[in-house]
Amino acid sequence: MASSRIASRYSKSLFDLAIQENKIEQIKADMHLIDSMCKSSADLIILLKNPIVKAEDKKAIMLKLINETDKFTQDFILLLIDKKREEELPYIASQFISSYNQMKGISLATVVSAVPLSDKNLSQMQSYVEQLLNQSDIQLQNEVDPRIIGGVIVKYEDKLLDKSVSKELREIRKQLIYN
């Protein structure tokens, strides 16, 4: 896919420059902000992909959205708009965060639950997952999916631990059908 290659190159360049300028932590925080904005706003994605909106208008909107970020990040986004690569921004942010996590040895895992987990439960789940995977630095994200009814599903790289009530009900259903 061409866009992932483009995003990868821009992300690597931004990452290398952030290290060189000794701003890696600030830029990572900025990329987290941009990543969450892109994930939560379909309108922002539509704006970035819209070829009818003038570059100056996109720049003005983006600068208002990211006015709290580092000047380095703002200049990078303005460069993307000048080069007509602004639609790659969500992918660039995501790949930058992945590169940062890889550099720091941080692994990401997702816990899916029927209701949002409290901080205490999330902390306990993180300890359990770290022990289960025999890794010490795992960042846990909580996703909510009421369809699992209860229990949790842990996703880590290509591994899946399904301890949900919906899975147990499916297993019982299979047993009843085939017996």
Domains of the chain: 2-103 (1.10.520.20), 105-178 (no CATH)
Q: How many CB atoms lie within 10 A of CB 137?
A: 10
Beta-bridge partners for 162 = 153
pLDDT for 156 equals 85
Q: How many CB atoms lie within 10 A of CB 24?
A: 18
pLDDT for 3 equals 58
10-residue mean pLDDT series, the chain (179 residues) = 77 94 94 92 92 93 91 94 93 92 86 91 88 83 90 86 88 88
From 34, 33, 56, select the one nearest 45 (Cα to Cα): 34
pLDDT for 1 equals 39
Q: Two tokens at 68?
A: 């709290």
Burial of 161 (0-12, 13-18, 19+ CB in 10 A): middle
Q: What is the pTM of this model?
A: 0.72
From 86, 75, 90, 76, select the one nearest 34 (Cα to Cα): 90
Task: Please give the distance of CA 93 from its chain centroid, rounded to a whole number.
Answer: 8
